[in-house]
Amino acid sequence: MTLIKSISGIRGTIGGRTGDTLNPLDIVKFTTAYATFIPRKTGRIVVGRDGRLSGHMVRDVVCGTLVGMGFDVLDIGYASTPTTELAVRMSGADGGIIITASHNPRQWNALKLLNSEGEFLTAADGAEVLAIAEKEDFQYAEVDNLGHVTVDNSFDDRHVQSVLDLKLVDVEAIRKADFKVCVDSINSVGGLILPKLLDRLGVSYKFLNGEVTGDFAHNPEPLEKNLQGIMDEMKTGQYDLGIVVDPDVDRLAFICEDGKMFGEEYTLVSVADYVLSQTVGNTVSNLSSTRALRDVTEKHGGTYAAAAVGEVNVTTKMKEVNAVIGGEGNGGVIYPESHYGRDALVGIALFLTSLAKKGCTVSDLRKTFPDYQIAKNRIDLTPETDVDAILVKVKEMFAKDSSAQVNDIDGVKIDFPDRWVHLRKSNTEPIIRVYSEAQTMQLADELGKKLMRVVYDMQK
C-alpha cells in the first residue's frame, strides 16, 4: 500500500491506513487543499473519471468536498483525461480534477489537478497544494454558500468534434481509405469515446475489452508484454491497424497489420513526421524518449529539445521553444493546435490521416523511420533506499568519461554517441526507471542491465 504525492498528482492504492493510501480522509484533505489554492473566478470545477472500480467512491468524496468548499461542480462522468482537460477550457471553469491512475493496475487511483487552462499544475503550484494539505488549516463554506453539482455528458461529443475540426485531420481521406481496425480499450472510458471518433471518421472496428467495468482484463500499461490478446487478433489478417489506449486515453500504441508492435516510442515519431511535413517547427519530448524524434525533426528543418519527464515539464518546454508538436515516448501525443495535453484521439486522427495519404501499410510506414530500440527496465525501491545518493554516485562514475554527456535535470541520463541510458525515480510508482536505447535491443538491454548492477551493488 502506498501514497505518492508528486508532479503527476496524488496517487495511491485504495484501502488501508490514512496517510499511507488513497482513502476517503486523504482524498478530502488533498481536494480541500486544491480548492483552497485554485484562484476562484467562476466558482466552477470540472470533475471527470475513468472506469476504475474505485472511481464512483472517489468521485463522491471529491464532489462532496468541492461542494463543501463552496464550488459548483460540473460532473462530466466517465471521461478521458484529455476530455476533462478540454471540458475545463470549454466551460470556462476555474480548474478540474481528473480521477484516474492512468496506466496503474486496478487497485490504484489518483487525483490529477488542472488549472483554468485545462493543463496540469506546474511543479511550483503542485508543491503549494501539498504544503496547504500538510497544514490542514481549512475553512469550509457556510450552509448558504455551499456549491451545487451539475451533470453534463456532452463533452465526449464536443471532444470528438474538436478533433475533426483540426486542419491536419483529413476526414474525407480517412473515409476513402476504408480502414478496418481492432481496438483494446482495457475496460475503461476508451470504450465509450473511441467508437464515437471512429464512427465519425468512417472507420470499421472491433473492440476488445470494450466494456467499462474497471476490472482490467490485463495489466493496463500499453506495453507489448501486456498486449498478446490484440496482437493475436491482428494476426488473423482482418485489420489494417491495431489501436491500444490506457484507462484514461492519454497514451496510445499501435499494432501493425501483421500483429507486430509498431512501437510505443514511434507513436509520437510517426505523428510528428506527418505534422512536420505540413507545418515547419520545433518538437519536444522527454529525456527518456527515442532519438528518432530528433532525427525526424531535423530532417524537416526543425529543432528538437528535451525536457524532464512529466507532462507539465514537456508542455512548459514546448511553450518555451514554440514547438508545433511534442509529447512522451510512452505513446503520449501533445498537439498544441488542439490543447496542451496528451490526447490519444488527436494521435489516432492524425496517424490515420497520414496513413491514408501515404497509402501504405502500417508496417511499411514504420520502416520509413530511424530504427532504434529501447529497453525499459525498473528497480523496485525499499523504504531504506536513498535514491538521490545513488544517482549522485552514478553521475560521478561517468563525469570523467570523455565519450559520455551527463544530464542531471531529471535523474541521470548518460548520452553516448550511439546509445544512451537514463535512470530516474518514477513520479507514479515506488521504483527507479532504467531506460536505455541503442541500435539493437540486445545492446540497449545490456547497457540498462549494466547500470542496474551498479545500483544493486550500491544498495548492498
Active site residues: 102
Q: All 3 cell numbers of residue 38?
A: 485554485
Question: How far is Cα 121 from Cα 35, in angstroms, rounded to an integer?
Answer: 13
DSSP class of 410: S
Yes or no: say if 53 and 61 are a contact pair by the CB < 8 Å rule: no
Question: How far is Cα 26 from Cα 427, in angstroms, rounded to an integer?
Answer: 19
Q: Which residue has the cell 462530466?
A: 76
Yes or no: say if 431 and 423 are a contact pair by the CB < 8 Å rule: no
Cross-strand bridge partners of residue 180: 204
The residue type of 272 is A
| Distances, alpha carbon 318 to alpha carbons 265, 336, 340, 427, in Å | 18, 9, 9, 20
Conformation bin of residue 34: beta by default, left when phi > 0, alpha when psi is -120 to 50: alpha
Question: How far is Cα 169 from Cα 174, in angstroms, rounded to an integer?
Answer: 9
Question: How far is Cα 306 from Cα 288, in angstroms, rounded to an integer?
Answer: 9
- The long-range contacts involving 23-26, CB below 8 angstroms and separated by at least 24 positions, are 24/57, 24/61
Yes or no: say if 183 and 20 are a contact pair by the CB < 8 Å rule: no
Question: What's the N-to-C CA distance of the chain in angstroms?
Answer: 25
Question: How far is Cα 132 from Cα 224, in angstroms, rounded to an integer?
Answer: 41
Question: How far is Cα 330 from Cα 328, in angstroms, rounded to an integer?
Answer: 5
Query: What is the bridge-based pairing of β-strands 149-151 and 72-78?
Result: parallel
Yes or no: say if 163 and 338 are a contact pair by the CB < 8 Å rule: yes
Cross-strand bridge partners of residue 108: 13
Nearest to 80 by CA among 338, 318, 263, 393: 338
Nearest to 221 by CA among 338, 347, 378, 345: 378
